Structure 1
Amino acid sequence: MPMPQRRMKVGKKEQHLWQKRDSAGSGQKALNLVRIVSELPNEKHAVYGALDKWTAWETEFPLIAAAKALRILRKRGQWLRVIQVAKWMLSKGQGATMGTYDTLLLAFDKDHRADEAESLWNMILHTHTRSISKRLFSRMISLYDHHDMPNKIIEVFADMEELGVRPDEDTVRRIASAFQRVGQDDKQKLVLKKYLSKWKYIHFKGERVRVRRDAWYESGSTN
């Protein structure tokens, strides 16, 4: 009995060490990629050429490292580089996930590229349809809200309703505000009534208290 127990411990230890080396390796590749793109001019051909060279000796596409690089660039607010790297990944048929789309839409928002965001969104909508996450719908509505495009918000909301995706509270308020801005106060109130609970929780004197939203509805506030 003692011998098998020792083997199991060694096996677990070896597996753990292998996973750590793999993680460290992809992390170093990601940092290398960030360094490479950060030093390049903004020309698409220069960036894509460098990215192609980065993968030239790889037997498989380094998807984990590329995804980590995207997260680093996003955290640093290097939105143009996020767009370039994400577009390059997708052009290679890699990283077509809701996470990549979310990051790319955020970068389009930050870099004031609403038209490109709309093109990407239409592709996502037609390609993935019923697998689109609530988070991605919220991202698109937030983007349109930042760029003062209430009619586009209403279009996205219509797709959410058709697909049975229930918006979160922040998104509900953006949708309601969009209806108000286009002069459809009746639909604004319907949205608030349908999607916001009649109750909300507030902290009062150190306790969590449930209160009715009636006054909030009557005021028509979307703040």
Structure 2
Amino acid sequence: MAGAFSLRLGPRIAGTPPPPASATKGEGRGGGRPTGSRALVSKKPNKEHHLWIRKDSAGSGKKALHLVNTVSKLPNEKEAVYGALDKWTAFEPEFPTIAAAKALEMLKRRRQWLRIIQVAKWLMSKGQVLTWTTYDTLLLALFMDGRIDEAESIWNNIIQTHTRSVPKRLFSRMILIYDTRHCPDKVLEVVSDFFIFFL
């Protein structure tokens, strides 16, 4: 008797367990596919938006590189540089803001300080790309080109025009410029302005 009983239970114990109830609920309504298999089906990501961003970014990078290569070959004359910059934007439906910002960054990496000064001042004359990064790059270029008086003039204009909104990195930039040039009085002035702004 015990042997017959163990023989009847043996195949059931050794066999594959039946599927859970949750897996068989959908058989009567939507076909034989278990509900759990729905987790394997995922929506295709919408790649159009990402491709558009990459294309735009690549386009602005090419425009920036074209500008950098163009101005790098020009003589050190303001008229020649400004003329090339005007041609660069002549047929653009909108001002190439991103490309101009990238061009300044490329010039910075190449340490072409005079070209940065010329491009940044041209942008200022157009009222374009007047970001804190542009001002910081211009102050650095003026310092590296030995034009401390111009850097100080632009700094004073920034302080007077943009009260309460000047970022800390510009204060750090001017403190470094004055400290490198051994101007302790000027350093104290910038530090004093910093405390007025942030305290």
Give the structure 2 partner of residue 50 of structure 1: 84
- Residues 1:70 and 2:95 aligned together: no
Give the structure 2 partner of residue 15 of structure 1: 49
1:144-183 equivalences under 5 Å are 144-164=178-198
Give the structure 2 partner of residue 33 of structure 1: 67
- Residues 50-105 of structure 1, C-alpha deviations (whole Å, 9 max, x = no match): 00000000011101000000000001100000111111111100111111100000
Partner AA of 2:83 in structure 1: G
Give the structure 2 partner of residue 96 of structure 1: 130
Structure number with the higher strand fraction is 1
**Whole-angstrom CA distance in 1 between matches of 2:97 and 2:156:** 25
Give the secondary-structure state (helix, strand or coil) at the position aligned to 1:54. Answer: helix
- Residues 36-62 of structure 1, C-alpha deviations (whole Å, 9 max, x = no match): 100000110110010000000001110
Please give the root-mean-square deviation of Cα atoms over the aligned residues, in Å: 1.4
Q: How many residues align?
A: 159
Where does the alignment leave 5 or more consecutive residues of structure 2 unmatched?
Answer: 1-37
Q: 2:148 aligns with which of 114, 129, 145?
A: 114
Where does the alignment leave 5 or more consecutive residues of structure 1 unmatched?
Answer: 166-223
Partner AA of 1:53 in structure 2: K
TM-score (norm 1): 0.69
Identity %: 63
Shift of 1:164: 2.0
Give the structure 2 partner of residue 135 of structure 1: 169
TM-score (norm 2): 0.77
Give the secondary-structure state (helix, strand or coil) at the position aligned to 2:163. Answer: helix
Greater than 4 Å deviation, 4+ residue runs: none
Partner AA of 1:17 in structure 2: L
